[in-house]
Amino acid sequence: MTVLLIDDDSEVLDSSRQTLELEGFAVEAVTEPEAGLARLGASWPGVVVTDVRMPGMDGFALLERVRAADAEVPVVLVTGHGDIAMAMRAVREGAYDFIEKPAEPDHLVEVVRRALAHRRLVLENRRLRAQLAEGGSEGRIIGRSPAIEHLRAAVANLADAEVDVLLFGETGTGKELVARSLHEGGRRRAGNFVALNCGAMPDTIIESELFGHEPGAFTGAQGRRIGKLEYAAGGTLFLDEIESMPMHLQVKLLRVLQERAIERIGGNRTIPLDLRVVAATKVDLLRLAAEGKFREDLYYRLNVVTVPLPPLRERRGDVALLFRHFLDAALARSRRTPPPLDPVLLARLAAHGWPGNVRELRNVAERVALGLGDGLAPVGVTAAAAGMTGSAEIEPLADRLDRVEKQLIEDALARCGGRVGETAERLGITRKTLYLKMRHHGLSRDDFAEE
């Protein structure tokens, strides 16, 4: 990130440059506005700090030129002849901030730091949105991690293959999304994609849901019903939580997979099926088969190809991209203004364990879109309000204080770009104390340093 200083007074220019460079900023200083404008572009990573009164092109004309090149480049106007009217004009015309000369070094540094943080977020959001816009429908598999690139390659390879597929992954890893991608990427895309959660259907109706029934097949069967298997003919049937399917239905499903034909409940006519079956599970089916809880022959019939889905904790590089995607979708539904993405929030998201995987991240984005803090703390009633008293486990005070202290130090380091001296000052402790606490918590300044 760069600070572009523009001022026709070379002494003031040198003073401001030295102030900022001592704080670790990369600075380019020019006395001619045109020379500064030549450096700018839509992806320029920096901010502009310019004098207002200059010969040839004043600061307001320069501001207009900068905004024409990129309206989101922060421009800070500096003048020794400022008044309230000029400050209001600066804000009205899109300046990021307005500083009077002589600028207090601390104030100048703080304004520039905030402007650079704003520019960094703008560029990061553009990068994320550009990645999200690459090639796809709403149902695409999002991510740039090696694990997701491998998954996308597997889906592309299998989409047109006429084989049944078994998806294996933890809860919330996106098994239905992958199943839909297999369907939409292959020649069966014109057919129906039919999803059935085997774990959510009562045993009393799942057989009817799968196979359908004829009128009078059982009490309450007043008319003919087309089952999921028959409805999926020509397309794809997705059986989620296949491990939950009752054993007696596993036998019937095995026969369907072998013969590609069904008979409706109460019927005698054999109905041929042309469909692809994608099953999904979060458990080891072979282990269940060894325990007598799943048919081994059905496992081998389903397991023509197994596609593993990586948990979110193994693809942390995709967290920001996925969060941006879910946040944009949530904001569009609620018609709310996008909140600024705080680097501290992104750091917390990247460090989170994500036991609920992508589904949990989607919920976090929904809460952030609603303005409910950082979204990581679920919104709900307190334990007392829910009637939960002393039976709940209480975290030891020392452990909780230790965890809170680590989080506070991480937040401060992130806000200060890894600068230990500034972080210690903001926390009100000595540099030596901060170093000791960082060592205790396993923190490194390099993890928070600004690029």
Asked if 86 and 52 touch (Cβ cutoff 8 Å), the reply is yes
In CATH terms, 313-369 corresponds, of 2.40.30.270, 1.10.8.60, 1.10.1050.10, 3.40.960.10, to 1.10.8.60
Nearest-5° Cα angle at 375, 370 to 380: 85
- Distance of alpha carbon 93 from alpha carbon 114, whole angstroms: 19
DSSP string for 199-265? TSS-HHHHHHHHH-B-TTSSTT--S-B--HHHHTTTSEEEEETGGGS-HHHHHHHHHHHHH-EE--B
* Distances, alpha carbon 381 to alpha carbons 337, 363, 378, 386, 391, in Å: 27, 17, 10, 6, 17
Q: What is the pLDDT of residue 296?
A: 94
Q: What is the pLDDT of residue 255?
A: 92
Q: Pseudo-torsion of CA 108, 110, 116, 118, nearest 10°?
A: -120
Strands 261-262 and 305-308: unpaired
The end-to-end CA distance of the chain, in Å, is: 7
Q: What is the pLDDT of residue 217?
A: 78
Collect all residues with Cβ–Cβ distance below 8 Å to 285 and sequence separation of at least 6: 166, 242, 243, 294, 299, 302, 303
Q: Say whether 188 sits in a helix, a strand or coil.
A: helix
Collect all residues with Cβ–Cβ distance below 8 Å to 423 and sequence separation of at least 6: 409, 412, 413, 415, 416, 434
Type of residue at 2: T
CATH topology of domain 2-133: Rossmann fold (3.40.50)
Please report the sign of the dihedral spanned by the C-alpha atoms of residue 33, residue 34, residue 38, residue 42.
Answer: positive
- Distance of alpha carbon 136 from alpha carbon 184, whole angstroms: 11
3-state secondary structure 342-411: CHHHHHHHHHCCCCCHHHHHHHHHHHHHCCCCCCCCCCCCCCCCCCCCCCCCCCCHHHHHHHHHHHHHHH
Asked if 16 and 112 touch (Cβ cutoff 8 Å), the reply is no
Please indicate, yes or no, whether the overall pTM of this predicted structure exceeds 0.75.
no
Q: What is the pLDDT of residue 132?
A: 57
CATH topology of domain 146-310: Rossmann fold (3.40.50)
* Distances, alpha carbon 272 to alpha carbons 215, 263, 269, 275, 323, in Å: 20, 9, 10, 10, 44
Strand partners, 280: 167
Q: What is the pLDDT of residue 278?
A: 95
CA nearest to 319, candidates 368, 367, 365, 366: 365
DSSP state of 195: E
Strand partners, 236: 193, 276
DSSP state of 31: S
CA nearest to 172, candidates 385, 360, 327, 29: 360
Mean pLDDT of successive 10-residue segments in the chain (451 residues)?
88 89 89 86 86 87 89 88 77 86 86 87 73 52 88 92 93 94 91 90 81 82 86 94 91 92 89 93 94 93 93 89 86 72 76 90 88 67 38 60 78 80 82 83 77 52
Collect all residues with Cβ–Cβ distance below 8 Å to 376 and sequence separation of at least 6: 348, 349, 352, 364
By the 10 Å C-beta count (0-12 exposed, 13-18 middle, 19+ buried), 135 is classed as exposed
Nearest-5° Cα angle at 251, 298 to 193: 70
- Distance of alpha carbon 126 from alpha carbon 117, whole angstroms: 14
Asked if 70 and 41 touch (Cβ cutoff 8 Å), the reply is yes
The pair of structure tokens assigned to 277 is 């079956």
Order the strands of the 97-100 sheet from edge to edge. Answer: 26-30, 2-6, 46-51, 75-79, 97-100
